[in-house]
Amino acid sequence: MAEDTLTITDNRTGQEYTLPITDGTIRATDLQQLRIDDGDSGLMAYDPAYLNTASCRSAITYIDGDAGILRYRGYPIEQLAEDATFLETAFLLLEGELPTAEQLHRWEEDVRYHTYVHTNVQKFLEGFRYDAHPMGMLLGAVGALSTFYPDAKDIGDPDGRYLQRVRLMAKLPTIAAYVFRHSHGLPYVLPRNDLDYIGNFVNMTFEIGGRHEPSPVLQRSLEILLVLHADHEQNCSTSAVRGVGSSHVDPFSAVSAGIAALYGPLHGGANEAVLRMLDQIGTKANVPGFIEEVKAGKGRLMGFGHRVYKSYDPRAKLIKRVADDVFEQTGLNPKLEIALELERIALEDEYFVSRRLYPNVDFYSGLIYQAMGYPTDYFTVLFALGRLPGWIAQWEEMLGDPEQKISRPRQVYVGEGERPYVPRADRG
Ligand code: ACO
């Protein structure tokens, strides 16, 4: 019978080693026993950008990138998007099981109770310039929350962790809405605890003089988008939350690191970049020319490609359906025609096919957010609202994992050898 081991011969020494294989992995630290002599600190695995390195064991999200499968705690994303609310999904990610009616009620009530933020947070936001990027404001404000809740430092206390979890879930929509109002020069709208999670957020962003008429279709569509974004295992921002959290800093600081990572155009900022790209293309007739430029290496087709999905991103499929519901309500976004044409050509083009580049979650989400009335530079804030439960769940899983330590990769030093300091006057 085949053994779950790997036998390696170190040709430098002729020595043979047998390493255990567990869950399809070898332990990189097992390689340390491969040494040339006693002074050698052992063989390392070199893996820039963690292309083939598992950094943790996780029971939260399962992805099969080749088959286009995404599941939270075992539940297919398609079923959650169809039936689950966002808070229910958050409970599932955080607790591991779907809530009973009673658990869901308590969770919703706890979150509802904590939606207000200290008025100094409002003052803090007022300090930002009128044209400050919403993600810059969001990450600053969430980081600042740690100063309002010094008890959050006690990450070893399960009750305390629950409280911070509730505070983050409850206050992020309030802060996100204040950021929106700040960008528009509008007064802040206080949370309304008679509304549900999504209804309250939408009201805080769009209410003006009692004239905002909520649309159940748009609110459910936003909720589905948040469910689709709620976790995605060890992506850049989640790894940032885990990495920063591994220093045992409070969760507000760790989450603000996640927001910073999400801000980048290669990650959550891609939905914003897609809209700018569609603006730049301008008309459907310009699409073939734009595709040629991408193929010639002059920029990327934003919203295409993924580190893990090498087939159609299952979230992009679901988002396309949401788009139909939203556009039926709001009327067609003219940029949709350009996006559909880009997708049609790219899915047939050898360049994209051979590299297995398919639309990702960000390709259509920006068009939907725009139709809902959110400005382009605000899209990633909506992504952050969705990803929050995943960040918290992954942070707590990391803290409870006895194998985890402070995150600290190794390096291969390629710089100068030792050399004497040259006095300033002697440097040519
Ligand atoms: N447009 C054109 N070419 C692309 C694209 C793209 N969007 N993405 C990858 N490629 C090409 C690369 O140039 C490379 O080609 P080469 O082999 O000839 O050099 C090949 O495909 C592999 O690309 P990598 O950069 O090695 O793939 P990686 O896994 O590192 O990158 C990423 C993944 C960052 C998502 C990339 O596909 C990309 O930049 N996409 C556009 C930005 C985007 O949409 N990001 C959102 C991702 S989803 C999310 O974060 C929520």
Query: Residue 305 has what pLDDT?
Result: 92
pLDDT of 62 > 70? The answer is yes
* pLDDT of the residue at 400: 97
- Quote the percentage of the chain above a pLDDT of 70: 100
> In a mutational test of the pocket of ligand 1, which residue from 360, 364, 385 has the highest number of ligand atoms less than 8 Å from its CB?
360
- Read off the pLDDT of each residue in 323-333 and give the average, rounded to a whole number: 89
CA 360 to ligand 1: nearest atom: 48
**355 Cα–ligand 1 center, Å:** 9
In 10 A of CB 51, how many CB atoms?
Answer: 7
**Per-residue pLDDT averaged across 57-84, rounded?**
96
pLDDT per residue over 14-44, tens digit each? 999 999 999 999 999 999 999 999 999 999 9
Best mutation site among 295, 306, 309 for ligand 1, i.e. most ligand atoms within 8 A of its Cβ?
306
**Largest pairwise CA distance in the chain:** 79
Tens digits of per-residue pLDDT, 195-214?
999 999 999 999 999 989 99
Q: What is the pLDDT of residues 221-247, one digit of tens each?
A: 999 999 999 999 999 999 999 999 999
Residue 311 has what pLDDT?
85
pLDDT score of 59 more than 80: yes
Cα 283 to averaged position of ligand 1 atoms, centre (Å):
24
Nearest of 253, 221, 227 to residue 240 by alpha carbon: 253
Asked if residue 1 has pLDDT above 70, the reply is no
Active-site hit among 231, 250, 349, 362 = 362
Q: pTM (2 decimals)?
A: 0.93
- Count of residues for the chain? 428
Our answer to whether residue 362 is catalytic in this structure is: yes
CA distance 72 to 93: 7
Told to judge if 306 belongs to the known catalytic residues of this protein, a careful annotator would answer: yes
Confidence band of 428 (pLDDT split at 50, 70, 90): confident
Paired sense of beta strands 61-64 and 69-72, if any: antiparallel
User: Is the confidence at residue 279, as pLDDT, over 80?
Assistant: yes
- If one residue of 231, 235, 238, 266 were mutated to test the ligand 1 pocket, choosing by the most ligand atoms within 8 A of its CB, it would be 266
pLDDT-wise least confident of 68-77, 334-343, 348-357: 334-343
Task: Quote the pLDDT of residue 40.
Answer: 92
Residue 102 pLDDT grade (very low, low, confident, very high; cuts 50, 70, 90): very high
Cα(230)–Cα(393) distance, integer angstroms: 10
**Atom number of ligand 1 nearest to Cα 303:** 44
Cα–ligand 1 centroid distance for 179 (angstroms): 30
Across the chain, mean pLDDT equals 95
Band of pLDDT at residue 270, cut at 50, 70 and 90: confident
Residue list, ligand 1 pocket, CB within 6 Å:
266-268, 270, 294, 300-307, 355, 357, 360-362
For ligand 1, the distance from its centroid to the CA atom of residue 51, given in whole angstroms, is 13
Please state, in angstroms and as integers, the Cα–Cα distance from residue 349 to each residue in 48, 304, 342, following that order. Answer: 30, 13, 10
Note whether 215 and 329 are within 8 A (CB): yes
**Separation of CA 165 and ligand 1 centre (Å):** 33
Identify the active-site residue in 229, 232, 306, 349: 306
Kindly state the average pLDDT of the residues 344-363.
Answer: 92
Q: What is the arithmetic mean of pLDDT over 115-125?
A: 96
